[in-house]
């Protein structure tokens, strides 16, 4: 990056310049006397609060005001006359605003030229209004005081509501953190809601540059973890060159100077973890950034950085576990002259059917990891039986069937959910829906769903694969056989789901082909 003028941050100790225009506070004047509207607008025309001016809306009756308030929810202050169409028109409208429109944010200041019509004590007690003034006493000084008080209250109420909404949405986002890609959903939701919580109108993105320890990623590569709607198209960016010029420059400067940077309308948060990972938060704001907002944004930057680092480690452990299971299962399959592709297809087909069944994504992933363990018990079966080309005699078949119980025995002592699920699958993947399977002769839903799913996936993949004792069937013939066994060997609902997702199943044989497999025959 070359020219600091492209993104010129003010020094951190300098006060930020205010933008020329901020979103004004909306004030609704409700009065049947045009002169009241004119005087109020004239007297308060140059008023500013928290850097924002005023925008006046005008209604000359309670009915007109009612229409305005039904159409918009951003009115900060309502200056409301009491006597208009009727002697209590203003009071009736005040009650309707609170009770019917359920508007508790707008500040209501009653103004009356006939105080006897609506005594102050009764009105304050009976109506949810915020101030009561006689028109004769409203000098410019008192009007200014009234505006300051009302707008300050409105600002604080809106901030509390935004905070509550932001907290609720952020808590909801937390549940996705353990899903695949959950950190992106979590960080994006928090980023979006943080802007709302602080009352900031803006857009931005959050990126991370991982260190060498995270083997799941390339060292030094930039990953955009979070983005507001305006930047959502950059979620796959992996290099500075993929980002807009202003963002490139901001990130580059923050990394060079090793600190957060800000000016009135832009913020770049910089955070380096103890492991050397760098997190960068970019915000392009429509309003200047206050000190409190800056502090919260930096806290966000730091916390998401630490969370992401933890999730990278978690992902690394999960990937290691998954690969270990596949390598172990593949080694077992090679004893019967099969390969790792078989267990990979079983894993993916089982996950596909589980998702189609409607299982939660966490259970789908657990099944994907456990399914390859279905034939682990074959380690207890002699090699000559596993590679025998002819039909097994009764004693040999009994020995072969023992692999289901052996696999269960090897895995069931573990307290790890994946291995315990693998134990159940190993024991049940040769059971049949009609109860004619082994080793327990279970039937119907007495067989676990995981066992029923892997049973179908294993038979289909075995049919379409070459074995020492048979040649592979073509895909359509194998599927026809599976369908013919609906309600006999297989769960009828699972057979129907298989038929509904045949294209996705076919794709598995292209993605995970055997070394001698001709994938084009399935297309």
Mind giving me the DSSP string for 255-294? Answer: HHHTS-EE-SSEEEEEEE-TTS-EEEEEEEESSPPPHHHH
The answer to whether 368 and 343 are in contact (CB under 8 A) is: no
CA-based nearest residue to 316, from 216, 463, 398, 183: 216
- Residues forming beta bridges with residue 28, ordered by sequence position: 57, 78
Alpha-carbon distance 147 to 378, whole Å? 82
Q: Report residue 262 CA to chain centroid gap.
A: 28
Alpha-carbon distance 234 to 276, whole Å? 24
C-alpha torsion 233→234→235→237, nearest 10:
140
Listing from the earlier edge strand, what are the strands of the sheet with 266-272? 222-227, 202-209, 278-285, 266-272, 261-262
Which one of the listed residues 133, 140, 378, 388 is annotated catalytic?
Answer: 378
Active site (annotated) includes residue 378: yes
The answer to whether 35 and 7 are in contact (CB under 8 A) is: no
Alpha-carbon distance 222 to 232, whole Å? 16
The answer to whether 131 and 109 are in contact (CB under 8 A) is: yes
Structure tokens given for 146: 């009234």
Instruction: Please report how the helices 182-197 and 140-174 are oriented relative to each other, as an axis angle in degrees rounded to 10.
Output: 170
Structure tokens given for 253: 């400067």
Q: DSSP class of residue 74?
A: -
Mind giving me the DSSP string for 440-494? Answer: S---GGGS-HHHHHHHHHHHHHHHTS-BTTBPPPPHHHHHHHHHHTBTTTB-HHH
Listing from the earlier edge strand, what are the strands of the sheet with 54-59? 54-59, 25-30, 75-81, 107-112, 131-134
Residue reference for tokens 């983005």: 227
Q: Cite the beta strand spans of 137-286 per DSSP E.
A: 202-209, 222-227, 261-262, 266-272, 278-285
Catalytic residue annotation = 378
């Amino acid at each position: 990056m070359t020219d600091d003028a492209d993104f010129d941050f003010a020094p951190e100790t300098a006060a930020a310049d205010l933008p020329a225009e901020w979103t004004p506070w909306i004030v609704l004047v409700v009065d049947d006397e045009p002169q009241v509207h004119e005087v109020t607008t004239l007297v308060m025309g140059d008023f500013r609060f928290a850097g924002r001016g005023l925008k006046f809306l005008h209604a000359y009756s309670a009915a007109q005001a009612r229409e305005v308030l039904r159409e918009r929810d951003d009115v900060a202050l309502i200056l409301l006359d009491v006597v208009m169409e009727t002697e209590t028109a203003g009071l009736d409208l005040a009650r309707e605003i609170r009770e019917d429109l359920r508007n508790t944010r707008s500040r209501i200041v009653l103004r009356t030229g006939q105080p006897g019509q609506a005594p102050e004590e009764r009105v304050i007690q009976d109506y949810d209004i915020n101030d009561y003034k006689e028109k004769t006493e409203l000098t410019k000084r008192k009007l200014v005081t009234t505006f300051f008080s009302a707008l300050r209250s409105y600002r604080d109420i809106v901030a509390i509501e935004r905070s509550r909404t932001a907290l609720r949405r952020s808590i909801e986002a937390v549940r996705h953190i353990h899903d695949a890609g959950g950190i992106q959903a979590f960080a994006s939701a928090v980023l979006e809601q943080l802007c709302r919580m602080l009352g900031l109108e803006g857009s931005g993105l959050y990126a991370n540059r991982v260190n060498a320890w995270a083997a799941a990623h390339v060292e030094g590569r930039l990953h955009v973890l979070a983005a507001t709607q305006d930047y959502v198209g950059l979620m796959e960016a992996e290099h500075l060159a993929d980002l807009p010029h202003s963002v490139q420059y901001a990130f580059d400067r923050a990394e060079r100077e090793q600190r957060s940077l800000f000016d009135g309308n832009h913020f770049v948060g910089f955070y380096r973890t103890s492991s050397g990972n760098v997190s960068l938060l970019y915000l392009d704001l429509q309003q200047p950034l206050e000190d409190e907002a800056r502090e919260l944004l930096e806290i966000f930057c730091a916390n998401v950085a630490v969370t992401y680092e933890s999730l990278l480690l978690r992902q690394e452990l999960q990937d290691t576990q998954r690969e270990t299971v596949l390598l172990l299962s593949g080694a077992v399959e090679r004893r019967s002259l099969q390969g790792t592709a078989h267990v990979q297809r079983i894993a993916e087909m089982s996950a596909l059917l589980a998702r189609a069944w409607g299982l939660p994504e966490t259970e789908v992933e657990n099944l994907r990891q456990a399914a390859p363990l279905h034939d682990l018990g074959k380690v207890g079966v002699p090699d000559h039986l596993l590679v025998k080309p002819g039909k097994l005699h009764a004693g040999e078949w009994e020995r072969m069937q023992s692999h289901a119980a052996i696999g269960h025995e090897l895995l069931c002592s573990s307290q790890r959910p994946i291995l315990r699920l693998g134990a159940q699958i190993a024991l049940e993947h040769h059971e049949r829906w009609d109860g004619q399977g082994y080793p327990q002769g279970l039937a119907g839903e007495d067989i676990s769903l995981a066992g029923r799913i892997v049973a179908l996936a294993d038979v289909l993949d075995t049919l379409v694969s070459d074995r020492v004792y048979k040649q592979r069937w073509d895909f359509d013939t194998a599927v026809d056989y599976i369908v013919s066994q609906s309600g006999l060997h297989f769960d009828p609902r699972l057979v129907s789901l298989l038929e509904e997702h045949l294209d996705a199943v076919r794709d598995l044989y292209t993605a995970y082909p055997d070394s001698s497999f001709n994938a084009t025959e399935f297309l």
